[in-house]
Amino acid sequence: MNGADEVNTGTNGVVLKMKENPKSQLKETEDEHVSNIHSACMNHKDRSNGGNDDEDDTIMVDKEWPRNGVIVFHNVSMRYREKLPLVLKSVSFSIQDGERVAIVGRTGAGKSSILLTLLRMMEIESGNVKVDGVDIKSVSGRTLRSRFGMIPQDSFILQGTIRSNLDLEGTCDDDALWKVLELVDLKKLVESFDEKLDHRVEERGSNLSAGTVQLMCLARVLIDNPKIIIMDEATSSVDIETDALVQTTIRQVCKGKTIISIAHRLQTVIDFDKVLVLNEGEVAEFNHPHLLLQNEDGIFSSLVKDTGETSATELLRRAKEAYDDVESI
């Protein structure tokens, strides 16, 4: 992309599940972690389009919102700045309560732009986005982002302890922390540490395995039990085994939650409920992966083929298996 045309969507990201009053400690920490969801998780004010962190909510959403996790995009168009071309062009799709949806598409297709729109990092030009029937325009960006669980591409761990990394605001009791550690299968490991929850965590979690770091980040997100989880899936920087471990855990612990995930590896989303295929800012395909694969000339089929023959055969098989499972319920 031409640097001159680039709109700054945030530079130094931080918190996974941003609180309505983030501690200042968090703002100072991580310049290194730059990704869209990271940007969404912090309080930055340097956007040229939108940016409504300072606005008050025009309606008060109740504490439990969103309860059902239904997300509806209706004719959404967005551009990063006046005079730049539209990057989302009349995008419409609905995600139902508890559905797992992967967003795929070639580079520049608009995947990240969808998430930035959902998080109100970018204001839309026309159309609307509703979450459980509430137009997100009427909720401040800060409130909105505090209600989603966000798992960014690169997990982040701060120097401190297990406890301080799980409970950023220091408001949880031990029971809640142990419970969430159990959920992500880290309870035994933490019990084995002499200092248990107060076990020292080095910078970037260098004294923990990559899998543990990722699971800790998942645990941190789960503490608030969000109904909607937004994921920017790990890229190749995470090894396949770690990724598989985290994905399996996410599947187990996030049942019933609405998950919207930018997928970098088709393996991890081939059994999702739906795949949203974007192409040049438009919705090209939206259906169960197995059904999309029936169209051999479709974009999803071509993305699957691009993974190589062996992998494509395996993906086709798994998509069918997942589809048959759903059908048999």
Ligand X SMILES: Nc1ncnc2c1ncn2[C@@H]1O[C@H](COP(=O)(O)OP(=O)(O)OP(=O)(O)O)[C@@H](O)[C@H]1O
Residues 6+ apart with CB under 8 A from 49: 7, 79, 80, 81, 122, 123
| Comparison of 122 and 190: residue with beta carbon closer to Mg ion | 122
Which of the 8 DSSP states describes residue 80?
S
Among 26, 37, 44, 112, binds ligand X (CB under 6 A): 112
> Which of ligand X, Mg ion, none does residue 153 bind to, with CB < 5 to 8 Å depending on kind?
none
d(CA 121, CA 113): 9
d(CA 118, CA 276): 15
Query: Measured on CA atoms in the order 196, 200, 204, 209, is the torsion positive or negative?
Result: negative
| Comparison of 17 and 264: residue with beta carbon closer to Mg ion | 264
Buried b (16+ CB within 10 A) or exposed e, 19-31: eeebeeebeebbe
Of 63, 90, 97, 87, give the one whose Cα is nearest residue 76: 90
Site string for ligand X, 48-87 (x = CB under 6 A): --------------------------------x---x--x
For position 210 contacting ligand X by CB under 6 A, the verdict is: no
| Comparison of 112 and 249: residue with beta carbon closer to Mg ion | 112
279 bridge partner residues = 282
The interaxial angle of helices 210-222 and 174-183, nearest 10 deg, is: 120
For position 237 contacting ligand X by CB under 6 A, the verdict is: no
Q: Nearest distance from residue 3's CB to ligand X, in Å? A: 10
Total binding residues toward Mg ion, as defined by CB under 5 A:
2
For position 4 contacting ligand X by CB under 6 A, the verdict is: no
Which 156-215 residues touch Mg ion, going by CB under 5 A? none
Q: Nearest distance from residue 265's CB to ligand X, in Å? A: 13
For position 153 contacting Mg ion by CB under 5 A, the verdict is: no
Query: Measured on CA atoms in the order 164, 166, 168, 170, is the torsion positive or negative?
Result: negative
| Comparison of 100 and 111: residue with beta carbon closer to ligand X | 111
Look at the block and give the residue holding tokens 């395996």.
314
| Comparison of 61 and 101: residue with beta carbon closer to ligand X | 101
Buried b (16+ CB within 10 A) or exposed e, 66-90: bebbbbbbeebbbbbeeeeebbbbe
Question: Is 7 within 8 Å of 112 (Cβ atoms)?
Answer: no
Among 39, 113, 140, 247, binds ligand X (CB under 6 A): 113
- Name the phi and psi angles at 227, rounded to 5: -80, -30
How many CB atoms within 10 Å of residue 114? 27
Total binding residues toward ligand X, as defined by CB under 6 A:
16
Among 6, 28, 32, 54, binds ligand X (CB under 6 A): 6
Site string for Mg ion, 99-138 (x = CB under 5 A): ------------xx--------------------------
Stretch that binds ligand X, among 107-115, 126-134, 155-163, 287-295 (CB under 6 A): 107-115
Which 133-162 residues touch ligand X, going by CB under 6 A? none
| Comparison of 28 and 46: residue with beta carbon closer to ligand X | 46
Among 21, 24, 107, 192, binds ligand X (CB under 6 A): 107
Helix (H, G, I), strand (E, B) or coil at 182: helix
| Comparison of 60 and 84: residue with beta carbon closer to ligand X | 84
Q: What is the binding site for ligand X (CB under 6 A)?
A: 1, 5-7, 9, 80, 84, 87, 105, 107-113
